[in-house]
Amino acid sequence: MFTPQRIKMLLDQKPYLISFVICLAVIIWMMAGPSNAESKIEPSNNEAHKANVKVERLFAESVYKSLSLYGRSEPDKVARVSSYEAGQVERIFVDEGTFVEKGTVVMSLEKGDLSQQLASAQALIKQREFEYQGAVKLQKKGLQDQVQLAQAETLLAQAKATYASLALSDKRTQIIAPFDGVINTRLVQEGDYVGRGDAVFELADLDPLVIRADVTQSEVAGLRLKQPVMATILNQSSYQGEIRYIASVADSRTNTFRIEAAFANPNMAFRAGFSAQLDINAEAVRAIKLSPAFMALDPEGNIGVKSIDADNRVVFNPMNIVKSTTEGVWMTGLGEQANVITLGQGFVRIGDVVNPIFAQAEE
């Protein structure tokens, strides 16, 4: 007979019996468990066990697809102004960074003996004029042939051309701004000698201010010339401009298209070189406004929203955002209206039949 003392002695001598008993009990429990659990499971389509979810019927509205780009502000044009004449820089009238209007004299070159050469050329013109008039009178009297008259006319024309050339050289000793702009860089100092074609200063036109950016192949299709655009620069202020240029050929390295947007810059108050954000409203599309709280994940980890179809079956709609603001996101692909699950989407699976509770029913 197995008394407690005898059982204890037996277990002390053969401790592996304890492990055997425990394993036997687990096997018996596992064999009995499924049948008991299965007896309690009811069909998933039983009305009593449909999950309750809160649903809101949302309607599409026309919104503009928003495109945000990043670029830099640049001058409308930059020119390195050169000297037409050779000579020594005599005076500089404008400092670097100064705004000048078209035609403003920026600097002057020493004229040398140009004044004397002009006076001599002018006197020569008078002499040639007298000679030509005399030849005309002699030719009318038959005392001089046509060839001599033509020679006198040629000498007069040459004298006038010489004077015009000297007058132009005299004018070009005054180096002027070819357009309105800012003296960005002065390349010479007073006393420097410059030759013909030497650059003397750099002029930048900042009105309009231009912001250049790159767009992808899919984005460029929705853009057009003179399309309104908003720019936000460092001071967080927004300014309205328009697209003035769209490249016809993509950059071979990045496969993107360069665009330019122009913004009025009176008195050239804004400088070039700042980072800027361009916001462009492209074509209008029909989209439904959603709160980020409505979003869910599918089994593959894709983000979207869950809605229900006409049979109250859960459908997953991948996100296709066309516009995003602090108020929410606008999503296409849901049609003109959709019954979106707004509460409980995390507890139902795609394909489940649910019991929808519409938000309007609570009002």
Q: Read off φ and ψ for residue 324, nearest 5 degrees.
A: -140, 130
Of the ranges 11-15, 268-272, 276-280, the best mean pLDDT one: 276-280
Give me the residue label for tokens 């328009």.
242
Q: How far is residue 70's CA from residue 231's CA, in Å, rounded to a whole number?
A: 9
Q: How far is the C-alpha of 71 from the C-alpha of 274, rounded, in Å?
A: 9
| Mean pLDDT, rounded, of the chain | 83
As a whole number, mean pLDDT of residues 109-117 equals: 88
- SS3 of residue 186 by DSSP: strand
Instruction: Copy the structure tokens of residue 301.
Output: 């980890």
pLDDT for 89: 93
Q: What share of the chain is helix, strand, coil (3-state, %, to 5)?
A: 30, 40, 35
Looking up tokens 């899919």 gives 218
State the Rg of the chain over Cα: 45
Q: What local confidence, expressed as pLDDT, does residue 219 receive?
A: 82
pLDDT tens-digit readout, 167-222 = 988 888 999 999 999 999 999 999 999 999 999 999 999 999 999 999 988 788 87
Q: Which pLDDT score is estimated for 332? A: 85
User: d(Cα 230, Cα 279) in Å, to the nearest integer?
Assistant: 5
Question: CB 166: neighbour CB atoms within 10 A?
Answer: 19
What is the fold, at CATH topology level, of the domain defined by 47-63+286-362? Answer: 2.40.420
pLDDT value at residue 4: 55
pLDDT of residue 78: 93
Q: How confident is the model at residue 362 (pLDDT cuts 50, 70, 90)?
A: very low
To the question of pTM greater than 0.85 for the whole model, the response is: no
CATH of 82-203, one of 2.40.50.100, 3.40.309.10, 3.40.50.300, 3.40.50.620: 2.40.50.100
pLDDT by residue (tens digit) across 291-317?
888 888 888 888 889 999 989 999 998
Q: Indicate the domain borders of the chain.
A: 4-38, 47-63+286-362, 67-76+205-283, 82-203
Beta bridge partners of 23: none
Distances (CA, A) of 1 to 4, 8, 11, 238: 10, 13, 15, 98
In this structure, what token pair is assigned to residue 5? Answer: 């003392």
Answer yes or no: are the C-beta atoms of 257 and 287 closer than 8 Å. Answer: no
Distance CA 289, CA 324 (A): 9
What is the per-residue pLDDT for 363? Answer: 42
Per DSSP, 353 falls in state B
Token pair of 248 as six digits: 């016809």
Provide the b/e sequence for 269-304 (b: ≥16 CB within 10 Å): ebebebebbbebbbeebebbbbeeebebeeeeeeeb
- For the chain, how many helices (H) and strands (E)? 5, 22
CATH of domain 67-76+205-283: 2.40.30.170
Note the pLDDT of residue 104. 93
CA pair distance 231, 309, nearest whole angstrom: 42
